[in-house]
Every structure is written in C-alpha cells, then in structure tokens.
Chains A and B, each alone.
Chain A
Amino acid sequence: DAGVIQSPRHEVTEMGQEVTLRCKPISGHDYLFWYRQTMMRGLELLIYFNNNVPIDDSGMPEDRFSAKMPNASFSTLKIQPSEPRDSAVYFCASRGWDSQETQYFGPGTRLLVL
C-alpha cells in the first residue's frame, strides 16, 4: 500500500487566494483526519470523517476553512480566502477498524501564505 497520499507537498500563495489541499487515505480505512501543525500550537485536529461523513469540525478555525469527503478515497481541505496566519503544515491521517486506533499520517502539505 502506498500509504496516505497528500498533494501538493508544498504550496506558496498570496493572501486572499483560495487554497485546496488533497488527501487520499489508505484503502479500506474508514476514518480520515485533517490536522494542522505549527511550532506554537503543535498538532491541532481540524476535522474528522467516519465513512465519508464529517463527525466533528469543531477544530476548524473559522468559516474560511471547509472540508469535504465525496468518497472513501478522497478528501479536500479548502481555505478561502487564505491569510498569512494559515501558514502551517497540514497533515491528513487515516485509520482503519483493524489498526487498533493507530493513525497513519500522510507526508503533509507545507503551506506558506504571503
């Protein structure tokens, strides 16, 4: 298995632009998580899905952030409009029923908003 796949790996954009981050979870996993990591705040859970349904989005910072999971093999995290304080590493992770709560992370997307 290729593991969790994220794209792009790096994104540099200007304030006000729309940013879309993509994630492909491990095949067969029924949970998908979006995290954001900064030096100041560490790893923060933004939102998670179970069987493509959003379960908890209380970690989403504000209305500028939205996430979708149209099918079991794809999810997006969108920021519109982006702001410099959104600069961070965004990780997607997935978990399956047989993985005993182990979450497998993708390589992350490094976002820089100028």
Chain B
Amino acid sequence: RKEVEQDPGPFNVPEGATVAFNCTYSNSASQSFFWYRQDCRKEPKLLMSVYSSGNEDGRFTAQLNRASQYISLLIRDSKLSDSATYLCVVTPSGNTPLVFGKGTRLSVIA
C-alpha cells in the first residue's frame, strides 16, 4: 500500500462549482498534514496546512480524520486559476521529509 493515496483525476468542473479531493495515508503515526499545489511545469507550493479541527482559508477548506487516516480539501466557487494539480502531503514524524501523494489534477472550465 502506498503511503499517501489520491484519486489522480482529472476533475473537470465548471467555474463556480464546488469540488472535493480526498486522500488517505497509511502511517497512523503521521504527525503533520498539508496540501500543496503544483501548476503545470512548475514546482509544488504549499497551499495550506491541515489541522485536526479542520481549517479554512478563503474558498479552501481542509479537514483531517485521524481515525480513518483521511484528509480532504474542499474548493468552493472554483476559479479558472484554481486549475492545477493538488498534492496531499504527510509528515511521518517530526523532522522527517514530507511524503507526497501523486496528486489530483483539477481543470476548471469556463
């Protein structure tokens, strides 16, 4: 089983739609969780951290379910500029490298 698994997509949604991505991780001792965004032919960049209580940043909401080892990202009111690949990222323990999922590709269509 891969450490971090994501649906690769692509998700093709119209502008204004709400879209949700899911991710599961295999290491129950994992400590930190993130979503990174990667634009086409660019490097990954941190989108947001994911906290146990869930957190929101504008149109983006991230949630963590430790019991199910499940992370989600919700994007409301999708914009064309949201088109990118979204990478689910986990840190197995403190000071260890991030472990990346393969990403979910989102295309927002006008």
Contact = CB atoms under 8 A, between A and B. Distances in A.
Contact of A43 (B32, B91, B100): B100
B102 interface: yes
Interface of B: 32, 34, 42-46, 49, 87, 91, 95, 97-103
Contacts, number: 34
Contacts of B43: 91, 105-108
A101 B34 CA distance: 10
Contacts of A33: 97
B42 A48 contact: no
A17 interface: no
Contacts of B102: 41-43
A105 B103 contact: no
B83 to A, nearest CB: 18
B97 A42 contact: no
Majority SS at the chain B contact face: strand
Given A101-B91, A107-B43, 15 more contacts: A33-B97, A41-B102, A42-B101, A42-B102, A45-B99, A56-B97, A91-B44, A100-B49, A101-B34, A102-B46, A103-B97, A105-B43, A105-B44, A106-B43, A108-B43
A85 to B, nearest CB: 18
Interface string A37-48: 000011101001
Contacts of B99: 45
Contact of B100 (A42, A48, A56, A108): A42
A25 B81 CA distance: 28
B101 A101 contact: no
A45 B103 contact: no
Most interface-central of A43, A50, A107, A108 (chain B CB within 10 A): A43
A42 B103 contact: yes
Contacts of A100: 49
A101 B46 CA distance: 10
B97 to A, nearest CB: 5
21 contacts: A41-B102, A42-B100, A42-B101, A42-B103, A43-B44, A43-B87, A43-B100, A43-B102, A45-B99, A48-B97, A50-B95, A56-B97, A100-B49, A101-B32, A101-B91, A102-B34, A102-B46, A103-B46, A105-B43, A107-B42, A108-B43
